[in-house]
Structure 1
Amino acid sequence: MNKSKGGLQLTVQTLSLVAGFMVWSIIAPLMPMISQDIKITSFQISIVLAIPVILGSVLRIPFGYLTNIIGAKWVFFSSFIILLFPIFLLSQAQSVNMLMLAGFFLGVGGAVFSVGVTSIPKYFPKDKVGLANGIYGMGNLGTAVSSFLAPPIAGAIGWQSTVRLYLIVMAVFAIVMFFLGDAKEPKVKIPLVAQTKDLLKDLRTYYLSFWYFITFGSFVAFGIFLPKYLVDHYELTTVDAGIRAGIFIAIATFLRPLGGIIGDKIDAVKALKVDFLFMIIGAIILGIANDIILFTVGCLTVSVCAGIGNGLVFKLVPQYFQKEAGVANGIVSMMGGLGGFFPPLVITYVTSITGTSHLAFIFLALFGVLALVTMWHLSKKNRSLAYK
């Protein structure tokens, strides 16, 4: 294995993921300003915020598969060129329908996640894959970049001009990938249908997908709804809310490699059990929080657990599915993305019925308990197989 090539590709692809996630998440931090110019209801806002997650999740399966066929270089490059169109459309949006249309195709920025988790393991030995995928996963920081920078920039030049700046970002990274991407990346050509059938027969596919649905889903959902939620419920300024949301995202992102390292050193499933136990505690705190301090404690707890959990799950994917890694990465990461689609809608719906969002966070705790049951079942199954 060429360590220098692996290091270069890990760096280039991680930075490319940062760019992709910056675009994928651009609407959320700007929504308080967008809603001042475009007449939009609370429920429509939840739809607009959630809609980029749809394409960003579903495309992860074909993107992971395509990466094995043509290489990460060309999947990333093509994605950045395609993203120029919805970015421009968003900057021109004057109606809810235009916001939804632009947001839907911005999902391509989230779909590129499965490119790197499929490509990067090819450059590293098995005992380093967890760490390498964890470092690549730090590209999620792109969400925090948008949360931190977009509101103050928009305050100075307007949200439309802020969105247009992202055209430059995409053009730059398309050029970077064109010249620095690895055109000689090892290709894996296994029929998609055959791979998918094998994966769908394996219980571990469903368990990993469910765990990532919760960990990465929490990461995405909190990044989406926190800016508007903090403004509406705690009367924070848009900049303050953006910074707080950015801190949540940054913590989860920076701790992702730690999850990978832990998974390289000890049984990742055992580590996930502890991780989910603390996530349940964090969700319960959010479910009873009535002040910003307690809410912050709950958010930070969930952030830490989501970050470590993300790294642990993607240590397990290549460990369990070596030959089908591309499609497995796509399926699991798709479910993680979809995990970010539903919570904003649930929070809006629950709040409209009960007058508070507390019950929505209790649902997160219940999902965590169910995940612990599946982890116990998988551990029991693995032990029984070991004795045979």
Structure 2
Amino acid sequence: MATAWNGAKDTPDSFWNSGHTPTLIAAFLYFDFAFMVWVLLGPLAPEIATTLGLTPAQKGLMVAVPTLAGALLRVVNGLLVDRIGPKRSGAISQIIVIAGLATAWMLGVTSFAGTLALGVVLGFAGASFAIALPLASRWYPPEHQGKAMGLAGMGNSGTVLAALFAPGLAKLFGWNAVLGLACIPLSLVFVAYMAMAKDPPNAPAPKRLGEYLSPLKQGDAWWLMGFYAVTFGGFVGLAASLPIYFTDRFGLSTIHAGYATAACVFAGSLVRPMGGALADKVGGVKTLMAVFVVAAVALAGVASVTTMPAALALFVIAMLALGVGNGSVFQLVPQRFAAEIGVMTGLVGMAGGVGGFYLASSLGLAKQWTGSFAPGFLVFAALALVALAGLVVVKAGWRARWGTAQGVRI
């Protein structure tokens, strides 16, 4: 039986022997397929909207609700992990999602209210972030934490699976059947998870609720949450909304819109670990400053383009920037809040989900009120510039107070 790190010095090549590889694999699979169903309503949205006669605002809210529910449930899952352990917390969450999807498939989703209720259930999948990462990372020593969290965190690539396969399956079997079909891989992953995952020994003592909220008394926590609301919020908001945008704006079929969305999402997922590495090398603040500039320019550009190739190119650029930003924020978080890293992971992750809810819902409202998605993209581009201004305000203080003191690049 594998044991957690015991304090012995590890070499760079000893990562796979320093923790518990089956648990790491189980955490990745859980996270990957949970993220797949978290954004499932996005690729299905054009078909659902046609069947139920939804307005643009309703479409935007439908794909945004899972993001908001996932954001709020991340805090709940953080509390649950501390009290009953990550393995059991993950098992409960997976059962809720599988049962919810199976019920929706059997009974059918026949109203806008039904899509919102399903969105809340899918929020449990989005909240897997707060379970999968501690499940994997607590098995590994400090020098391997980045690798462990990076490998488990690559599960956000599951959003690509939804964009690639959900539209085609909906065309073959109907969109409601896709809800039932999704239960098949989720059930297989659940079996593998229960067989492979093990709770790490020497788990930290459960925290009181007040301890979870204590970082919110510090301004730095709010700044980091705000920055992640833009980077991850932009990433997941676009992942959920682009199928609607591509079908409405350029008349793409749902299948081709899914392929275009998958290309954008894959770009953002791929560079997240690279963002952390770049931030380690040149500093998280410098990296984020470039991220906000590039994202703002790309999203503002999307508002004015008239061709599909130009829009796709700008979305890929925006997603690359936002993916780098996601890694950069989490390079900064442990440097400022090393003692509260678990709590801050949940709070920052929640803020990212709230940002995604805002972007997805605002695009729907913009389309309904103005007949164009452009105002929604322009407002979010402006928020990226606001984040840039905030970063300029705090960077000198951060470098003086905790960057120089720790001898690290920020």
Match of residue 287 from structure 1? 303
Residue type at the aligned position of 1:22: M
Match of residue 288 from structure 2? 272
User: Which of residues 226, 235, 240 is equivalent to 2:242?
Assistant: 226
Match of residue 52 from structure 1? 66
Q: 1:383 to 1:161 in 2, by over 3 A?
A: closer
Q: 1:198 to 1:379 in 2, by over 3 A?
A: same
What is the 5 A alignment of 1:166-177? Answer: 166-177=182-193
Count the aligned residue pairs: 388
Residue type at the aligned position of 1:154: A
Match of residue 25 from structure 2? 11
CA drift of 1:352 comes to: 3.0
User: Which of residues 123, 145, 163 is equivalent to 1:129?
Assistant: 145
CA distance in 2, matches of 1:228, 1:384: 45
What is the 5 A alignment of 1:21-100? Answer: 21-91=35-105, 92-100=108-116
Write the deviation string for residues 293-339 of structure 1: whole angstroms up to 9, x where unpaired: 22122201111011111111122223322332222111110110111
User: Which of residues 232, 237, 241 is equivalent to 1:216?
Assistant: 232
Match of residue 378 from structure 1? 394
User: Which of residues 98, 122, 132 is equivalent to 1:116?
Assistant: 132
Deviates more, 1:208-217 or 1:130-139: 130-139
User: Which of residues 201, 206, 209 is equivalent to 1:193?
Assistant: 209
Match of residue 365 from structure 2? 349
Match of residue 316 from structure 2? 300
Match of residue 333 from structure 2? 317
Does residue 284 of structure 2 align to residue 237 of structure 1? no
Deviates more, 1:154-163 or 1:324-333: 154-163
| Aligned-pair Cα RMSD in Å | 2.1
Q: 1:363 to 1:127 in 2, by over 3 A?
A: farther
Q: 1:373 to 1:119 in 2, by over 3 A?
A: farther
Write the deviation string for residues 57-85 of structure 1: whole angstroms up to 9, x where unpaired: 10111212332343321121111111122
TM-score, structure 2 normalization: 0.88
Deviates more, 1:166-175 or 1:13-22: 166-175
Does residue 201 of structure 2 align to residue 181 of structure 1? no
Match of residue 256 from structure 1? 272
CA distance in 2, matches of 1:269, 1:121: 25
Q: 1:228 to 1:42 in 2, by over 3 A?
A: same
**Structure 2 gaps, min length 5:** 7-15, 406-410
Residue type at the aligned position of 1:160: N
Q: 1:180 to 1:40 in 2, by over 3 A?
A: same
User: What is the SS of the residue equivalent to 1:107?
Assistant: helix
CA drift of 1:101 comes to: 1.1
Q: 1:263 to 1:8 in 2, by over 3 A?
A: farther
% identical equivalent positions? 27
CA drift of 1:188 comes to: 1.4
CA distance in 2, matches of 1:185, 1:95: 46
Match of residue 11 from structure 2? none
Residue type at the aligned position of 1:178: M
Match of residue 408 from structure 2? none
Deviates more, 1:363-372 or 1:376-385: 376-385
CA distance in 2, matches of 1:128, 1:50: 35
User: Which of residues 359, 365, 373 is equivalent to 2:375?
Assistant: 359
User: What is the SS of the residue equivalent to 1:151?
Assistant: helix
CA distance in 2, matches of 1:128, 1:266: 20
Write the deviation string for residues 146-205 of structure 1: whole angstroms up to 9, x where unpaired: 110011122222222221112222222222221111233431125333323430122221
User: What is the SS of the residue equivalent to 1:123?
Assistant: coil
